[in-house]
Amino acid sequence: MPREVTGEPVGEVRAVSGMHERKAEMARFADAFIALPGGYGTLEELLEVITWAQLGIHKKPVGLLNVDGFYDPLLSFIDMAVNEGFIKEDARRIVISAPTAKELVLKLEEYVPEYEVGLVWEDQMPPSAAAAHGFAPELVEPGITSSS
């Protein structure tokens, strides 16, 4: 069985200069983030959008399609980090999981951010600083881009 299935194109193609810009563009246009079972790349992207939510860069839901308990070890790790004080309890609610796509979509549609953010990039980081750290200015200060 193939790991990735191709078919009819969906959405639009955007050329970007690198991985960081690709992720920033996806984050900017996404209504939510859903991670299917995957490897290192999936984990890296998943943890980045969770961190961005914790920092206040976005308030979009982050979901795990926990097929056959694939993400159970990660969810246990997150719960352990909460219990040990490394993750705030309210930040634990950033991550939503469900065993089926239908259940996950329902949970994502009902999502309301209930956690306190420690940093709101839109209010605190100028576009020049964002660019220096590799963030897309569009994520940091709406309406101001690198070409402005």
Domains of the chain by residue range: 31-111
Selection from 63, 46, 41 nearest residue 109 by Cα: 63
Note the pTM of the prediction, 2 decimals: 0.69
92: exposed, middle or buried (Cβ count in 10 Å: 0-12, 13-18, 19+): middle
Percent with pLDDT over 90 in the chain? 47
CA-CA distance, 45 to 69, in Å (whole number)? Answer: 20
Structure tokens that stand for 120 in this block: 């709101």
31-111: CATH class: alpha beta
Selection from 31, 33, 88 nearest residue 62 by Cα: 33
CA-CA distance, 127 to 116, in Å (whole number)? Answer: 24
Of 17 and 3, which is predicted with more confidence? 17
Tens digits of residue pLDDT in 29-58: 889 999 999 999 999 999 999 999 988 888
pLDDT level of residue 140 (50, 70, 90 thresholds): very low
CA-CA distance, 57 to 49, in Å (whole number)? Answer: 9
